[in-house]
């Protein structure tokens, strides 16, 4: 069996054997003899403690100022609190490093280890970090907000929640779609709710041979009778295309955003009834079947 090392043996010894014997036999004399060294050590300890205390106070002040500024800028509470905490702990980490340096402890290797560990964690969480970065962008710049009707990554729905990592949509049939924030920020976003007004587009087909002036007047009368349609923005009714079996009228009107779907669905029914009442034919697809005997 190998003999214990010197360091291990020293650790096993009582404290009275490790410390200088003069310290126990004549403490006052020992202190007087090593007064300068002891003074420097005590001074370093006091300075290190002051660095920690000041660092802690500065960290709290920086976090508070950051939180106040972002709240005034109307940044989402989630992201403002997160960023303020990051700044707080960054200042504390800097203070701890300065404290260790003051005590004569080498921090280069410590910082290198922390950096390597941070890099390893970042690589393993690469996908999550990209979602996090995208979440920060969404919460700061707010291309979409909770309650808005949007189209994101090929999905349409009302924004229910925006978190650091994901965005949740509720579809028209009450399904919940959870989309990673990286997909939201990297693709195109269609926001249907951001503007106060929206344009509603229609295409109505009538039979060839119809009185085009009468058709136009009939369509305009339907639009003018609807109080939800904004007349000051104009009503467009034009012949948009000559199709294979119909003359297609393109119609465009403006409404308040909240009235979009109501006007869209109501107008189709109103136009159908108005065209029938005016004796204007609506084409429909027909098939000719030839039975050869």
Q: Going from the N-terminus, what domains does the chain have, and what CATH number goes with each?
A: 31-124 (1.10.287.1260), 144-191 (2.30.30.60), 197-277 (3.30.70.100)
Would you mind telling me the total number of residues written for the chain in this entry?
293
Query: pTM score, two decimals?
Result: 0.59
pLDDT at position 263 is: 96
Residue with tokens 């280069």: 108
pLDDT at position 13 is: 47
d(CA 249, CA 125): 55
Rg, Å, the chain Cα set: 38
pLDDT at position 75 is: 67
CA angle 204-210-211, nearest 5°?
105
Q: Which residues contact 202 (CB under 8 A, 6 or more apart)?
A: 250, 251, 252, 253, 267, 268, 271
Residue with tokens 């014997």: 21
Q: What is the DSSP string of 247-281?
A: EEEEEEEEEEGGGHHHHHHHHHHHHHHHHHHTT--
Q: Which residues contact 251 (CB under 8 A, 6 or more apart)?
A: 201, 202, 203, 204, 219, 223, 235, 236, 237
Q: Would you write out the chain's pLDDT as a tens digit for each of its 293 residues? A: 445 444 444 444 454 454 555 555 656 666 666 667 677 778 888 888 998 899 999 999 988 998 888 777 666 676 677 778 888 888 888 888 888 888 777 777 666 776 776 666 666 555 566 777 777 778 777 889 989 999 998 899 999 988 878 899 999 999 999 999 888 988 899 999 999 999 999 999 999 999 999 999 999 999 999 999 999 999 999 999 999 889 999 999 999 999 999 999 999 999 999 999 999 998 876 666 777 76
Question: b/e string for 226-251 if b means 16 or more Cβ within 10 A?
Answer: beebeeeeebbbeebeeeeebbebeb
């Amino acid at each position: 069996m190998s003999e214990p090392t010197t360091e291990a043996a020293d650790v096993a010894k009582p404290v009275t054997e490790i410390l200088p014997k003069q310290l126990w036999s004549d403490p006052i004399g020992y202190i007087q003899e090593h007064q300068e060294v002891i003074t420097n050590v005590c001074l370093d300890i006091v300075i290190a403690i002051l660095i920690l205390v000041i660092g802690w106070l500065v960290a709290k002040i920086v976090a508070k100022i950051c939180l106040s500024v972002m709240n005034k800028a109307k940044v989402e509470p989630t992201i403002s609190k997160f960023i303020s905490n990051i700044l707080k702990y960054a200042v504390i980490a800097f203070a701890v490093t300065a404290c260790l340096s003051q005590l004569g402890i080498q921090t280069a290797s410590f910082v290198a280890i922390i950096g390597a560990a941070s890099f390893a964690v970042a690589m393993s969480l690469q996908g999550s970090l990209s979602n996090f970065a995208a979440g920060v962008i969404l919460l700061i710049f707010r291309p979409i907000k909770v309650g808005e009707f949007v189209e994101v990554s090929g999905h349409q729905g009302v924004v229910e929640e925006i978190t650091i990592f994901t965005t949740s949509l509720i579809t028209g049939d009450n399904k919940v779609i959870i989309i990673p924030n990286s997909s939201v920020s990297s693709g195109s976003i269609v926001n249907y709710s951001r503007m106060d007004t929206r344009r509603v587009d229609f295409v109505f087909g009538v039979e060839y041979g119809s009185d085009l002036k009468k058709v136009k007047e009939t369509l305009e009368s339907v639009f003018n009778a609807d109080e939800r349609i904004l007349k000051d923005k104009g009503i467009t009714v034009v012949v948009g295309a000559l199709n294979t079996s119909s003359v297609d009228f393109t119609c465009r009107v403006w409404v308040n955003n909240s009235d979009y779907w109501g006007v869209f669905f109501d107008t189709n029914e109103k136009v159908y009834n108005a065209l029938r009442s005016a004796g204007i034919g609506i084409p429909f697809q027909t098939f000719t079947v030839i039975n050869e005997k």
